[in-house]
Amino acid sequence: MTVEIDPMSEKKDQRIPVMMSSDDVDAIDAWRRKQDDLPSRSEAIRRLVELGLKAKK
């Protein structure tokens, strides 16, 4: 499943430093490599957070 997000369409004005385990970072990197557009790690985290928030609804 690909999430259609234009990275330039949203104003990104909040920086949130987050510590993660190596296993979590590896999982994020594996997920992003499966995406058609190979998002940056930051963009991948934003997409995964959005997916998680949508799933919670």
Give the model confidence (pLDDT) of 9-56 as tens digits: 778 899 999 999 999 999 999 999 999 999 999 999 999 999 999 997
Q: Which contacts (CB < 8 Å, 24+ apart) does range 24-32 have?
A: none
Q: In this predicted structure, what is the pLDDT of residue 18? A: 95
Domain ranges, ordered by start, for the chain: 22-56
CA distances for 10 relative to 6, 21, 33, 34, 44, angstroms: 8, 28, 23, 23, 15
Q: In this predicted structure, what is the pLDDT of residue 48? A: 97
Q: In this predicted structure, what is the pLDDT of residue 50? A: 95
pTM over 0.85: no
